[in-house]
Chains A and B, each alone.
Chain A
Amino acid sequence: MYFCAPVTEVKSLMKKSSILGLIVIAIAIALIIGLYGSASTYGSFKDAKSTNGELHVIGYLDKTKELYYDAAKDANYFSFFMKDKKNGEECKVIFTGTKPQDFERSEQIVLVGEMRGGEFHASHIQMKCPSKYTQDKVEITEASAKKADL
């Protein structure tokens, strides 16, 4: 049937849907490039020294060194030492904010931030605590008093 359509109409059909199609493709490409441009990288402290701008560093808290947070002096200053996962390099980390709850228990930390001088300034801290899911240990409570009942 559509072979009978006037030539001009077929032409205009090509035009409008192609324009829309092109716009859609252009936006889709822009989104992917946008992702590529905005995506960050996982790096080490060494990488952070040579990079301008922020990046992600994964590492472990050095529990032998001091975690410094004294709300009485400054409620927005928290510092600690972390070893990065890649090279095991240690660096002092400063975070403008309060000490996250249970920070000492963290198993792994993901920092987002940049190196300033010799210190890593984190703008975001994400920590992985031993979650209830991985904690496959049953806490046994001595229930000697109760045992007598059973």
Chain B
Amino acid sequence: MDTAFKGEHLLPGQLGQFFVILAFASALLSTISYYFATTNPDQSDRSWQRIARFSFFTNTVSVIGIGCCLFYIIYTHLFEYHYAWEHSSKSLPVYYIISSYWEGQEGSFWLWGFWQAVLGNILIWKAKSWEKPVMTIVSLSQVLLSSMLIGVAIFGERIGSSPFILLRDAIDLKGTTPIFASRPDLYHNYLSYITDGNGLNPLLQNYWMVIHPPTLFLGFASMVVPFAYAIAGLWQKRYKEWVQPAISYSLFAVMVLGTGVIMGSFWAYESLNFGGFWAWDPVENAALIPWLTLIGAVHVLIVYKNTGHSYFTATFLVLISFVLVLYASFLTRSGILGDTSVHAFTDLGMFWHLVVDVAIFLAISIWLLVIRWKELPISKKEEETYSREFWMFVGSVFLALSCLQLIIVTSIPVWNAIFKTNVAPPNNPVTLYNVFQAGFAVVVTLLAGFTQFLKYKKTDTTRFFITSLVYFVFAGLITALVVYTSGIYHLHIVFTLVMLGAIYSVLANAKVLADAFKGKIKLAGSAVAHIGFGLILVGAVIAAGTSKVVSQNNTGEQYSSEFAKHNDPKENIMLYKNEPVKMGDYVITYLGDSLSMPNHYFKVDYKLMDANGGLKEEFVLKPNSQFNPKMGLVSSPDTKHYLFHDLYTHVTMVPANSGISQPDDGHSETNDDQNYDPPIAHEIAVGDTIRFREGYILLAGLNKKAQVQNIPLTGNDVAVGAKLEVVSHGKTYDAEPVYMIKNGSAFDFARKVEDAGLKLRFSKIIPEKGKVEISVYQQPESKKAYIVMKAIQFPYINFFWSGTIIMVIGFLLSIFRRNKELKTV
């Protein structure tokens, strides 16, 4: 009985669950009504359409309702709900509550459904005669997304996973927690034992994680629109008209998805420690695959619109792009990637649900293509060899092929599951992907270059050869210069060729852009987008190809001849606190750590010296580590950005006890001494110095009126302080250990100089010699505070980021242009 549990708030969850069911039911009704509205022979009868619209609006309201309930639950820390307990905690700032929304699969499905609802409303408003068939498909997709959130068992199988499941239903509290096992009478009051949630994965506590998932999911969601238009075109036999709106929506989808992907890459660069901006991780590939096919689709759609060629390819690429979006969500959410991805994907028991999702849309696509096959306007006439459409077509085919390579390799676990094999992923997937994808990029960029000099239908060959050749030679010269100065020629030859292709593409499109300014303004969008794409490749090849580990370190001890023989690169450098180390052109010093919960920052000072040893530049980087009870230590880098390169630093290891320097409480003296080497006693007079491993100590004077806190002196008591100046690594610290005679007994009060790793005792006064005895305790090397870190230099990475921005501007210009041409009826 629900009421048996104390302190639970069941209303928000019940309301949320009601909205979940309503969202599913209304989407289903909307799909059915739109279907009948489309197939109704009497098109003046608007009753089906009215029902369909009403149910889609209901769906939109329900989706928003789900979002509000979930927000309320997380915001008010209702940990009786599994989602809130799993993904948030009380200490989470409000803006990260938004991120905790999509840490779980349910939240990200909701986000997807939300965007799809928004797009559906735009289509109802804008699509006119296309509304009925297009919305049939969009609603169907909404049915499947809503079904992922149901979380109700039907015939013994749980369908979907609801974000409103209670903690006590999701986890067997009685069985797994000893308290309730031994004292079942306490169970009704379980909530008072759960004081906080699990908290948000520290890596997601980043501002990019607030905006990257919404952008990415808007991109995924908007891919359904061109798909729906392509299906509607086949269904309604309107083979020509669907293309124009599909171009606009496809451009929107590739723009948003591309931005989302690069935002993810920027997040990885800023807050993950894999040391780069792209790692060909299955998750990244999953987002890139549909992007590549839809980019190809945009090009052939334009070809089809302008020349009537390539109808089948255009339709096929649009259809497959959306199916691949669904396939990507199957890959990343079903748990099939298992051992091959470091990402801890869960199997929420939705494996077959996700398979069905892919299968439904794949089946619809194939079925419609088959039954309409004979009618399809496939042109029987060959394209001219010297025509723009032919080479745009070739380029799109190569984009699809590069995508094929990504699919084949990323899907290895899928092949294993289907064919019952046990093939491991490539040993060095990054190199493999880099080389293959670079090969395709060479072809695609060269095509994106010289195709600009071709015209639709037919081109004057002589002029074409002269212009494209002139630009090619020019690009070759620049490439030679870039390749030589950046050192790319050390890499595989294919990267030099990519550079050539990218630069050629930038130059050729710069010419188009120049023409655009002279009046052919229509062409500006594609030119700008192509320039952006070229710059992205230039930046990626230089930054990733010539990034250099600055923290090279070959001072380590050799462990075995076997180990030494291979001379593996040593990429981590160890820094003791306050001991400067030379690293490349820099002198770096670990200054210390500071704690600002839950982040643990390590301050590393960088000094750049010029040839004469003068200080050119100095800055402090603060890479951090976050200790998370769930994930252990999670390190995030800190990066110094320059215009032409970035210096990237992250902590790879900190000693387990490093922590925060404990306050010196002066107690447990004997224990404390174990942290130091055996003391060395020095007899010295005022003005003398004592040498130690990392500097010297000067006895500046004696303070006859030393005070020790809380110990009042009476009668014959004496307290003398030794004024010591400790000089270590160019810094001076003062310390004053005290020697005291109280009630006839001698005491002394040691002082520590943490930064120099010293403890100093004023252990004796020797009046006959006029000297004092100072005992020096030195920390052994291993007890000193240190960090192990890695620093990487990324040259010209700003090309990569700025190329992205330029490409997005290009897409925007193209969308404006296509929308102007759009006259929907």
Residues of A within 8 A of B (CB): 1-2, 5, 9, 12-13, 16-17, 20, 24, 27-28, 31-32, 34-35, 38-42, 54-56, 58, 69-77, 79, 94, 96-99, 101-102, 105, 110, 112, 116-117, 119, 121, 123-124, 126, 128-129, 131-133, 135-143, 146-147, 150
Q: Mark B407-434, 1 if CB is under 8 A from A, else 0.
A: 0110010000000001111110000100
B168–chain A nearest beta-carbon distance, Å: 9
CA distance A74 to B563 in the complex (A): 12
- Asked if B788 and A71 make an inter-chain contact with CB atoms under 8 angstroms apart, the answer reads yes
**Contact partner, B570, options A70, A73, A76, Cβ 8 Å:** A76
CA distance A71 to B563 in the complex (A): 16
- Asked if B556 and A73 make an inter-chain contact with CB atoms under 8 angstroms apart, the answer reads yes
- Asked if B570 and A96 make an inter-chain contact with CB atoms under 8 angstroms apart, the answer reads yes
- Asked if B424 and A56 make an inter-chain contact with CB atoms under 8 angstroms apart, the answer reads yes
- Asked if A76 and B556 make an inter-chain contact with CB atoms under 8 angstroms apart, the answer reads yes
B228–chain A nearest beta-carbon distance, Å: 28
**Which residue of A is nearest B176, CB measured?**
A137
CA distance A105 to B652 in the complex (A): 17
A-B contact pairs, 18 of them (CB 8 A): A13-B382, A20-B394, A27-B401, A34-B436, A55-B427, A56-B427, A74-B557, A74-B570, A75-B553, A75-B573, A76-B570, A94-B559, A101-B653, A102-B633, A132-B631, A136-B171, A136-B172, A140-B194
- Asked if B397 and A105 make an inter-chain contact with CB atoms under 8 angstroms apart, the answer reads no
- Asked if B653 and A116 make an inter-chain contact with CB atoms under 8 angstroms apart, the answer reads no
- Asked if A143 and B195 make an inter-chain contact with CB atoms under 8 angstroms apart, the answer reads yes
Which A residues are in CB contact (< 8 Å) with B405?
31, 34
- B725 interfacial contact with A, CB 8 Å: no
Interface window among B11-19, B338-346, B663-671: B338-346
**Contact partner, A40, options B394, B426, B574, Cβ 8 Å:** B426
- Asked if A135 and B562 make an inter-chain contact with CB atoms under 8 angstroms apart, the answer reads no
CA distance A124 to B342 in the complex (A): 12
Which B residues are in CB contact (< 8 Å) with A124?
427
Kindly state the interface size class of chain B when it binds its partner.
35 or more
Which B residues are in CB contact (< 8 Å) with A72?
574, 781-782, 786
- B6 interfacial contact with A, CB 8 Å: yes
The number of A-B residue pairs with CB atoms under 8 Å apart is 179
Which B residues are in CB contact (< 8 Å) with A101?
632-635, 653
Which B residues are in CB contact (< 8 Å) with A116?
562, 566
CA distance A64 to B383 in the complex (A): 71
**Contact partner, A132, options B7, B176, B198, B782, Cβ 8 Å:** B198
- Asked if A41 and B176 make an inter-chain contact with CB atoms under 8 angstroms apart, the answer reads no
- Asked if A96 and B788 make an inter-chain contact with CB atoms under 8 angstroms apart, the answer reads no
- B630 interfacial contact with A, CB 8 Å: yes
Which B residues are in CB contact (< 8 Å) with A139?
629
B328–chain A nearest beta-carbon distance, Å: 19
Q: Mark B614-652, 1 if CB is under 8 A from A, else 0.
A: 000000000000000111111100000000000000001
- B193 interfacial contact with A, CB 8 Å: yes
- Asked if A143 and B193 make an inter-chain contact with CB atoms under 8 angstroms apart, the answer reads yes
Take A34-B436, A75-B788, A138-B171 as given contacts and tell me if A102 and B632 are in contact as well, using a CB distance cutoff of 8 Å.
yes
Which A residues are in CB contact (< 8 Å) with B652?
97-98
Q: Mark B170-198, 1 if CB is under 8 A from A, else 0.
A: 01110011010000000001001111101
Take A31-B404, A96-B568 as given contacts and tell me if A40 and B788 are in contact as well, using a CB distance cutoff of 8 Å.
no
- B703 interfacial contact with A, CB 8 Å: no
Take A132-B198, A143-B193 as given contacts and tell me if A94 and B563 are in contact as well, using a CB distance cutoff of 8 Å.
yes
- B86 interfacial contact with A, CB 8 Å: yes
- Asked if B635 and A31 make an inter-chain contact with CB atoms under 8 angstroms apart, the answer reads no
Q: What are the 9 closest A-B residue pairs judged by CB atoms, nearest first? A: A74-B556, A102-B632, A96-B568, A98-B653, A131-B344, A40-B424, A13-B382, A75-B574, A2-B380
Which B residues are in CB contact (< 8 Å) with A137?
171, 176-177
- Asked if B192 and A42 make an inter-chain contact with CB atoms under 8 angstroms apart, the answer reads no
Take A72-B574, A98-B788, A146-B195 as given contacts and tell me if A77 and B556 are in contact as well, using a CB distance cutoff of 8 Å.
yes
**Which residue of B is nearest A99, CB measured?**
B653
Q: Mark B553-575, 1 if CB is under 8 A from A, else 0.
A: 10011111011001011111110
